[in-house]
Chain A
């Protein structure tokens, strides 16, 4: 079974630029999560989707971050414009349902200069 795929693996941008991350969850997984992990800290949930609907985006900085999962499969997370403090690893995870084990992708490491 293929795991959660994310791209790109690494991204370096300057502040005020825009960036987008892509996630392809495990086939059949209805629940998809985006996490932000700043160096030295545990992951923080940014947004949770159930199929193509948003379950929780309370910690998403909506003035600059947006995410979508239009067809209930792949998802994109966008930052526009980026700030220095957005430098982090962005992890995507998926699960069969919201009560099941989450499987994590390899993450996208973002550096904002």
Chain B
């Protein structure tokens, strides 16, 4: 069973700061997702990665398969980025394809 750890659990920063959220997992994966969850429960998929790096606007996601580690970066952070960011992995090796989720990082960007 894959264990997914995120850090930090909580992060408060000032508007404009560069934000990094980390995710590590214990077993080889076929894909890693970064999700954003706003108050009220809605979840949005930000990235799906299997290698390398992806960029969308001010968001950048990287993954190091050898080190079993991924990072989500937010440049020029804004209060509207305040949300819970969740890392989820799909384990490699076939079988059922449900995701294993981290507990999330609660991000607050203060103006």
Q: Which residues of A contact B (CB under 8 A)?
A: 31, 33, 37, 40-45, 48, 55-56, 58, 89, 91, 93, 98-99, 101-104, 106-107, 109
Q: Which residues of B contact A (CB under 8 A)?
A: 4, 30-31, 33, 35, 40-45, 48, 86, 88, 95-99, 101-104
Tell me which residues across on chain A come within 8 A of B4, comparing CB atoms: 42
Tell me which residues across on chain B come within 8 A of A48, comparing CB atoms: 96-98
Distance in Å from the Cβ of B5 to the closest Cβ of chain A? 11
Tell me which residues across on chain B come within 8 A of A33, comparing CB atoms: 98
Tell me which residues across on chain A come within 8 A of B101, comparing CB atoms: 42-44
A45→B86 CA distance, assembly (Å):
14
Asked if B44 and A104 sit within 8 Å, CB to CB, the answer is yes
